[in-house]
Chains A and B, each alone.
Chain A
Amino acid sequence: MTSPNPVAKRSLAQRISGERIVLALAAPVLAVALSVAICSVLLATSGKNPFDAWNVMITYATKSDGQVAILNRTTTYYLAAAAAAFGFRMNLFNIGVEGQYKVAALFAAFVGAQLDLPSFIQIPLLLITAMLVGGLYASIAGLLKVYRGVSEVISTIMLNSIALAIIGVLLVPGVFAPKVSGTTNSIQTDPVSQSSHFFSIETPGGTLWGFIFVAALVGVVFQFVLTRTRFGFDLRATGRSESAATASGVNVKKMVIISMAVSGAIAGLIGMPELLQNSFYYGQTFQQNLGFLGISIALLGRNSPIGMAFAALLFAFLDATGAQLPLKGGFPSEIVSVMQGTIVICVVVAYELVRRYGLKRQQKRVGAQLAAQAAATEKKEVSA
């Protein structure tokens, strides 16, 4: 105890010690194993061999077209998870990712269809539009929380449903959709102009979306902002203890509004890979439920950029390969959402158990150290 240096070093060594890594990995591995077991039982009850189903999924994942499909889904899922996680890091439950990305995608699709600027202006413009719309829509919940004390959980749930109404009002022929809907029954916006198409990489397995780099960038910025800036420190401090943060001079109200808006801005990006790389228009068939999937992925990845990348990959794997199940072997693809649900529930429980176990061990260790110290001083006194 002569200088603080050895202590700091020891704590660093402790931090990367095997025990901590095992504890951190135990929860997700256990959760996945348990949900595989539960789903195997469910599949077996339908009178089919569950191993055939796993075989179909894994076989598809080893093929290059399967891998490209998984990576493309991962891109979207990762953005959805990042949007939810940004709020979670400060204990803000942005359940409204679902509504934010839909509204944002609708407006971006409309702007993209109206304008035809050079790509290097058009694409950033569309991304900014989407982020702005998503951020503004989310900040309604932030403002209501700060100025009127409305819980963001309820307000974002309401805003999700209101978003559907906004889309229903705007996405009609003559407003955001073209006047003559043609032969198709579904109403959709005009396709975005050619210059809005994001770059993609042609691989033997199909088209890999270039947006994967944007998603990676979001992850890097996410990590940088949270761990290397004053804002990120304030945000995490508020998340851990609001009263402590207030005492140390953090303007909690401002933080709530800003982080809600940032969370919504990231949510605005969720629909972009689909819009700028795949469908090129916003319609009634636009991907649904990404918001709630994002929340689950964020929980699974413990809101950390790297953890979420793995979690997004896992969910993308389940979804992409699950889509093959009805085609090969006649398994219902609904088993995938059962699996995702069990993974999420098992993982949150497992994290909590691991946390309690770790806490108990730590308490024991500290207790033992204190007892040893007390014993040592007592001995000294006796001998003196």
Chain B
Amino acid sequence: MSTATAARPKAPGAPAKKRKLSWPVVLLLIAGALVLISAVGMATGNHSLTSSGQIAAALSAAVPIGMAGLGGLWSERAGVVNIGLEGMMVAGTFCGAWAGYLVNPWVGLLAGMLGGALGGLLHAIITVTFGVDHIVSGVGINLLIPGICAYVNRIYYKDYISAGAGQNQSPPADPLPYITVPGLSSGLKSIENHHWFLVSDAAGVLGGLVTNLSVVVVLAAALIVASYFLLWRTVFGLRLRSCGENPTAAESLGVNVYKYKYMAVIASGAFAGLGGAYLSLVAAHFYKDGQTLGRGFIGLAAMIFGNWMPGGLAMGAGLFGFTDSLQLRDPESVHVLILIVSIAMALLALWQLYRRKYTATVISFVVAGGLAAWYALTDEVQRPLIVATPYVITLVVLSLASQRLRMPKADGQIYRKGQGK
């Protein structure tokens, strides 16, 4: 794919053993974050960051990102880099809205997946059969599919103006059902409104998870879990991943590498298509050009953030969904977020001091101080900066943790049968 000038492992004095983030540690970190947010919420009187509305919005924004990321995960685990996710998502938005209007939204979801899968098939033909560079093919797909959708949108929906189609948009489809857990939701809401320390915040988060939940959100969560079991706990998954790690070895063991790559990339397109269908059936009820707004790329970033693992991907999608939803909410809550990140950085600095990493300590302290000053000196955050947050986070994570991230070994390499050395 590209010249790999991997940075050398850092300082020889550093401990060689890699600490893995285990689930208990992750849960502890999340709990700690909640305590911190809760404390700052108490101090500033702004509880909107953990309100159920905010959490529901974050979850809703996370779904398309997570689905695009899941698509990237499938494809890259089989060794095919998929920059074309964006284009496949567009195919999903278009086909989803189209079938959603003509038949019903459930068929729309399927049609969206099918549309995305067709994009995936195209990517697979170009990269696997013809052996074209994966990035090049992805760029081509991102040019072609939105073009086709915009063209068809322009000529097709002209005749549907009476059905509610706009100049450049499809007629609205029926909405998909929402799920609210009865009893639990209202109970949590009342606890949330009391603004008790920690309890109300936890209630707000839980409330956001059980109130007015689109079925597609549940479906997406189920798909991420199912992908984990399919890819890591079955023979099929082992074979698929072996195509991304060492296709030649897989071939020598009798795995049909082409077949697995094809399946993975088609599945990848289908997931991206589902993410797109979510945008045109749940987030909005119609198709419009340029609905995806680069979410395919953010999905890719979420997957890399999550170290090419479903759990990490879900967290990445959640984080990016959270920042994505912040831009729609009041600028004040984002301002509070600066203070929270600043305190978190200060705590990180103390931890690094304890671990005797002095350079990292100084850097963390400087960042914390800078953020604190920013918080003190301003009243609100400019909107473009909020929009850019996921991208900056990705860059920072990649640059700090790229030694810890491990992508599939043969990711992005062109494989041809019988040419192994």
Give me the interface of A with B, judged by CB distance under 8 Å. Answer: 42, 46, 90-93, 95, 144-155, 157-159, 161-162, 164-169, 172, 238-239, 242, 252-253, 256, 292, 295-296, 299, 332, 334-342, 344-345, 348-349, 352-353
Contacts and interface: CB of A to CB of B under 8 A. Distances in A.
A148 B398 contact: yes
B297 A157 contact: yes
B143 A340 contact: yes
A92 B395 contact: no
B144 A342 contact: yes
Contacts of A91: 2-3
B110 interface: no
Nearest to B83: A153
B155 interface: yes
A295 B139 contact: yes
A152 to B, nearest CB: 6
A155 B391 CA distance: 9
A344 B2 contact: no
A341 B145 contact: yes
**Taking each of B6, B301, B391, B400, which has the highest tally of chain A beta carbons within 10 Å of its own beta carbon?**
B391
Interface string B399-413: 110110000000000
B335 to A, nearest CB: 15
A27 to B, nearest CB: 12
A349 B126 contact: yes
B4 interface: yes
Interface in B167-222: none
B382 A92 contact: no
Nearest to A344: B140
Contacts of A154: 300-301, 304, 394, 398
Given A165-B385, A349-B130, A296 B398 contact: no
Contact of A252 (B5, B145, B297, B388): B5
A167 B388 CA distance: 11
A259 to B, nearest CB: 10
Given A144-B398, A162-B392, A334-B150, A149 B7 contact: yes
Q: Interface SS of chain A: helix, strand, loop or mixed?
A: helix
A316 to B, nearest CB: 16
Nearest to B407: A151
B32 interface: no
Interface in B362-421: 382-385, 387-388, 391-392, 394-395, 398-400, 402-403
B28 to A, nearest CB: 28
A242 B4 contact: yes
B132 A164 contact: no
Contacts of A167: 384
A325 to B, nearest CB: 11
25 contacts: A93-B1, A148-B7, A148-B398, A150-B402, A154-B300, A158-B394, A159-B391, A162-B395, A165-B391, A168-B387, A242-B4, A252-B3, A256-B5, A292-B143, A295-B139, A296-B139, A296-B140, A299-B139, A332-B151, A334-B150, A336-B147, A337-B150, A339-B147, A341-B141, A348-B126
A342 to B, nearest CB: 6
Given A161-B387, A341-B143, 9 more contacts: A149-B6, A153-B1, A154-B304, A157-B83, A242-B4, A332-B151, A334-B150, A337-B144, A341-B147
B135 A158 contact: no
A168 B384 CA distance: 5
Contacts of B333: none
A345 B124 CA distance: 12
B300 A157 contact: yes
Interface in B269-312: 294, 297, 300-301, 304
Given A154-B300, A161-B391, A345-B144, A146 B7 contact: yes
B139 A46 contact: no
Interface string B63-85: 00000000000000000010100
Contacts of B133: 348
Contact of B144 (A93, A95, A148, A341): A341
Contact of B3 (A92, A148, A150, A339): A92
A67 to B, nearest CB: 25
Contacts of A155: 395, 398
B131 interface: yes
**Taking each of A46, A90, A150, which has the highest tally of chain B beta carbons within 10 Å of its own beta carbon?**
A150
A144 B132 contact: no
